[in-house]
Amino acid sequence: MIRETIVTTVGADGAVHIAPFGITEEETGPVIAPFRPSVTLDNLEATGAAVINLTDDVRIFAGCLTGRRDWPTRPATVVTGRVLEGALAHREVRVAAREDDPARPRFRLTVVHEETHAPFRGFNRAQAAVVEAAILVSRLHMLAPEKIESEIAYLAIAVEKTAGPREREAWGWLMERVADYKAGHAKAAG
């Protein structure tokens, strides 16, 4: 199973880095697989630690994909790292093993501490749609224009029907990015 999370890491220089990552739950524990190049990958190698944040604030997913990476954090409890203020729960992890790969190395992680901060409030279709749209935005260069159009038209239904203010704001940032991409594409073609 893969859970969509926000991973926070700290660089050798102490700089905090925030990025969405799908975390695979394996029998041995969580696994993260960053495509190269990746600041998260560099930080995992530098510190051997990370914080996996579970949040329903989808602005953080959309924000990280649209240049809004500055989300409030506080120090982690056990590892050298930071916890997102918007996290419903978090897990502090250390790198247990590393499987090298030229494109996408895998890090097997050991959970050394976990905390719950707020309850799960139930599924929301607009939140799921924003996460899907964030993944779409991270792959725009790999997708045909018709595919982008049809996926967005479908996801927009859930946003129109079920979004609250946070979901609408996140959706707006992603749609701006798609519009910029399409405008850039049209210019290059013309």
Ligand X SMILES: Cc1cc2nc3c(=O)[nH]c(=O)nc-3n(C[C@H](O)[C@H](O)[C@H](O)COP(=O)(O)O)c2cc1C
Strand blocks (E) in 11-165: 16-26, 29-32, 49-54, 73-75, 82-84, 89-99, 106-116
Told to check if 112 binds ligand X by CB under 6 A, we report no
State the DSSP H helix or E strand holding residue 87, giving kind and residue range, or none if neither.
none
Residues 50-69 contacting ligand X, CB under 6 A? 61, 65
Residues 134-163, one symbol each (x = binds ligand X by CB under 6 A, - = not), give xx--x-------------------------
Report the chain's terminal Cα–Cα distance, integer Å: 44
Contact region with ligand X (CB under 6 A), list: 16-24, 86-94, 147-155, 174-182: 16-24
Q: Does 40 bind ligand X (CB under 6 A)?
A: yes
186: left (phi over 0), alpha (psi -120 to 50) or beta: alpha
Compute the distance between CA of residue 17 and CA of residue 14 in angstroms, rounded to an integer.
Answer: 9
- State the DSSP code for 122: -
CA separation, residue 110 to residues 19, 28, 33, 160, 185 (Å): 19, 8, 15, 40, 43
Pick from 3, 15, 25, 35 the residue near ligand X by CB under 6 A.
Answer: 35
49 binds ligand X (CB under 6 A): no
Q: Which is nearer to ligand X, 19 or 129 (CB)?
A: 19
Binding of residue 21 to ligand X (CB under 6 A): yes
Taking CB under 6 A as the binding criterion, the range among 35-43, 47-55, 79-87, 171-179 that sits at the site for ligand X is 35-43
Retrieve residue 136's tokens: 């779409």
Q: Which CB sits closer to ligand X, 28 or 186?
A: 28
Return residues touching ligand X (CB under 6 A): 4, 19-22, 33-35, 38-40, 61, 65, 131, 134-135, 138
